[in-house]
Structure 1
Amino acid sequence: MQASVEQRTNMQTVVYPILIAISIGHLLNDAMQAVVPALFPILESSMRLSYTQIGWIAFTLNMTSSILQPVVGLFSDRYPSPSFLPLSMGASLLGMIGLAFAPNFFFVLLSVLFIGFGSAIFHPEGSRVVYFAARARRGFAQSIYQLGGNTGNALAPLFTALIFVPFGQKGAVWFVIVAALGMIVLFWVSKWYAVQLHQVNKRRKETMGEKKQISQKIIFALILLVLLVFARSWYYAGISNYYQFYLMKYYDISIREAQLYLFVFMIAGAIGTVFGGPLADRFGRRNLIFASTLGTAPFALILPYVPLHFVLPIIFVTGFILSSSFATFVVYAQELLPGNVGMASGLIVGLAFGMGALGAVALGKIADVYTLKALMVMCSFLPLFGVLTFWLPKET
């Protein structure tokens, strides 16, 4: 009896050391991804890139890091390997070296491919580690994990202001150290992960005869979920890739000043992610997704028109509300597909965001053909897609 109670307690207790370590790994992985948009103002000036070319760099990064995630997730659901975690950082390390010394636009694209490959390999496996470490508190655990990623992304404006403005493109070489540190952390996590996989494979053999069909209701819910994340991704792409240029042009501020506003948006997103997971555990995943997506709309709609002194508080609230459901999307998908955690994670964090990366190119084209103002106004309507949440099934 006592052993049974202890076993149940262990199944409900979050494995904090692993959760924190994989979150640090997520931070380091996404910090290296953040180097790419952080370099946009530098590359735009030194290589004389158009907004469309900047969009293609963002597209290459996001499509590589995202569109491959469901494929990697499906493969790792069948053949999971702890070695994928440190190997993912190795690919990003090669990308950082290439990016630091890229002589032209096409070499930049090639370097970004390696960074994208590293991210595509890391995310499905990282989400599976979180799934194991979370026990019964999946919303909370996913929030801590996503906090690492969002914080890494939020550092992009600081990288621009503190590293790339003074040191230029070659400042990217410092991130080789970041990649090496990530490999050490993830190697330690992979040893714990290997033990969990052994236990899961053992249980799977005991229930090999049990197969569950994916119902039409689940397929419909997944399609809606992807559409919601797609709209969210386009809005996020508009702000993170082009809002800095909008601020510099229409408010006549410097590159360094523009990075402050972008940093506030991103760090607010990281804070929102922390609060969102526990709220979803308490009030329901569907309710949190609805409140976050549609709740962003009023602030997004007024952002292109407000005076500069109102931008900071509005962009903070926008980032906070928008990102509060980020972890919840992943957990909702995982619970729809409990037997394919890697594919579910890749589908939301990967495929949906990868399709959203098309927005980076399309939005850049809009900015080139029309104006940055037209781009920001168009983006402001995207959170209204939150009404689709009404058709998501409630959790049982």
Structure 2
Amino acid sequence: MTQQAALPAKVTNTSESTIYKILFIIGLCHLLNDAIQSVVPAMFPILEKSMGLTFTQLGIIAFSLNMVSSVMQPVVGTFTDKKPMPYALPIGLTLTLFGILGLGFASNFGMIVVSVIFIGLGSSVFHPEGSRVAHMAAGNRRGLAQSIYQVGGNTGQALAPLITALILVPLGQIGASWFTIAAALAVVLLVYIAIWYNQRLAVTSNTTKRKKADSENMIGLSKDVKKALALILLLIFARSWYISGMTNFYAFYAIKVYSMTIKASQLYLFAFLVAGAFGTFFGGPLSDRFGKKRIISFSMLATVPFSILIPFVPSYIAFIFLLLTGFILMTSFSVTVVYAQELVPGKIGLMSGLTVGLAFGMGAIGSVGLGYIADLISIQSMVSCIGILPLLGLTAFLLPNDNKVREWYQGN
């Protein structure tokens, strides 16, 4: 009788407290996963020289990686919303391990594409389930929890230029195979996470069933919510297109315009991505204080002056503007995820898949298009054009405010 009475108390306590140990571990796994995924664009300058690939072919590689990851993320998220699969996390990273190993030894363009597809598949499994783990461990601090989880991923992405400068430049393509060590470490950590996840499901099974039943009656499919989701996805797409253009092609721009070495150009890109990681971390707590809609609007519109001017200033000023652009733009990264999850409660995996996965898919499409534009008119013109994308942040003013979203969440 005492044990039965203690069980609800345990559930309540767990749901309210923030489990930082789990958040930090899943954040570290996110770092390792995205660092491995970032090896692909980091290798572009190496592959362009060693295999003679065109910008269009590089765009196709980025498309293959991100499109597989993005298309599958909402599918995986929808499935695991209905039937959570804790051990899918280490299985997904095992696919990534095989992909990065293949990338290190690929001898032609086709083998590279197949290898990055494996990496994309692993990422598509990890992201929605990783976001669910962060949600489960968040307690009452969802914004902070998502920031901890997402900053891991963005830090991993920021490591890509250093990976190029310190590993890929001296070792060449074979250097990619060294990241099987990182993948193996992530698999071990995710086995631990999966055990916790599985135990948590056993403890909270009744609560989860009740929440799922409640979510069927929510206003999550109303016209107002659909409109808000469409707007938030548009903003995410604009942000993803810009970041995709900078991540995949700015190094080439810096080499051509500023006469930089590959190593120096990667340090500029590293500054942009590290600043973005800091922005991701601070975005969640700032949204808790000032509101999600305000942070989303600010992150897009305050970026505009810097993103437009970056191609037209000297290299040392461009470095400063890259820092500012990365930080400001990425303050909305974790915020948009939480905003979407609150718009449609009970669909954590699906909303994560849409806001993170589908966004990267649009970035993948952008990679092909931007690569084609760079081949057609010039890398300088392409980089100049993408600076206007954050102007789409004007549509953020049409989003429902936080109080309205809270009313939808609590009143249905």
Q: Which category describes the TM-score, using the shorter chain as reference length?
A: over 0.9
Shift of residue 244 of structure 1?
Answer: 0.3
User: What RMSD in Å do the two structures reach over aligned CA positions?
Assistant: 1.6
Counterpart of 1:177, as a letter, is I
Paired residues for 1:226-375 under 5 Å = 226-375=233-382
* Alpha carbons 1:272, 1:319 under 8 Å: kept: yes
Question: Equivalent residue of 2:402, what SS?
Answer: coil
Deviates more, 1:302-311 or 1:194-203: 194-203
* Alpha carbons 2:15, 2:136 under 8 Å: kept: no
Deviates more, 1:164-173 or 1:210-219: 210-219
Counterpart of 2:168, as a letter, is F
Shift of residue 158 of structure 1?
Answer: 0.6
Deviates more, 1:324-333 or 1:213-222: 213-222
Distance 1:222 1:155 in 2: 31
* Alpha carbons 2:272, 2:326 under 8 Å: kept: yes
Shift of residue 105 of structure 1?
Answer: 0.5
Distance 1:72 1:11 in 2: 24
* Alpha carbons 1:235, 1:382 under 8 Å: kept: yes
Distance 2:212 2:287 in 1: 32
Counterpart of 1:325, as a letter, is S
Q: Is residue 2:188 matched to residue 1:184?
A: yes
Distance 1:61 1:164 in 2: 19
Task: Please name the residue that 2:387 is paired with.
Answer: 380
Q: Is residue 2:168 matched to residue 1:161?
A: no
Q: Is residue 2:223 matched to residue 1:222?
A: no
* Alpha carbons 1:12, 1:136 under 8 Å: kept: yes
TM-score using structure 1 length: 0.97
Runs (4 or more) in structure 1 with deviation over 3 Å come to: 3-11, 204-210
Runs of 5+ consecutive residues of structure 1 not aligned to the other structure: none
Task: Please name the residue that 2:51 is paired with.
Answer: 47
Counterpart of 1:270, as a letter, is A
Runs of 5+ consecutive residues of structure 2 not aligned to the other structure: 1-5, 404-412
* Closer/same/farther in 2, CA of residues 295 and 185 from structure 1, 3 Å limit: same
Task: Please name the residue that 1:212 is paired with.
Answer: 217
Distance 2:165 2:36 in 1: 16
Shift of residue 11 of structure 1?
Answer: 3.2
Distance 1:353 1:176 in 2: 23
Distance 2:365 2:190 in 1: 31
Distance 2:71 2:232 in 1: 16
* Alpha carbons 2:76, 2:128 under 8 Å: kept: yes
Q: 2:22 aligns with which of 18, 24, 29?
A: 18
Question: Equivalent residue of 1:103, what SS?
Answer: coil
Question: Equivalent residue of 2:346, what SS?
Answer: coil
Distance 1:386 1:103 in 2: 42
Q: Is residue 2:90 matched to residue 1:86?
A: yes
* Closer/same/farther in 2, CA of residues 371 and 190 from structure 1, 3 Å limit: same
The percent identity for this pair of structures is: 52
Deviates more, 1:192-201 or 1:217-226: 192-201
Shift of residue 353 of structure 1?
Answer: 2.1
Paired residues for 1:22-37 under 5 Å = 22-37=26-41
Shift of residue 294 of structure 1?
Answer: 1.1
Question: Equivalent residue of 1:135, what SS?
Answer: coil
Distance 2:13 2:71 in 1: 38
Q: 1:61 aligns with which of 50, 59, 65?
A: 65
TM-score using structure 2 length: 0.93
Distance 1:10 1:132 in 2: 9
Shift of residue 208 of structure 1?
Answer: 6.7
Q: Is residue 2:105 matched to residue 1:101?
A: yes
Distance 1:251 1:19 in 2: 41
Q: 1:136 aligns with which of 127, 133, 140?
A: 140
Distance 1:246 1:259 in 2: 11
Q: Deviations over 1:190-245 (max 9, x none)?
A: 11111222244322445675422421111111111111000101100111000000
Q: Deviations over 1:69-89 (max 9, x none)?
A: 001100111111111110011
* Alpha carbons 2:212, 2:346 under 8 Å: kept: no
Distance 1:271 1:319 in 2: 9
Matched residues, number? 395
* Alpha carbons 1:29, 1:182 under 8 Å: kept: yes
Counterpart of 1:286, as a letter, is K
Distance 1:320 1:165 in 2: 27
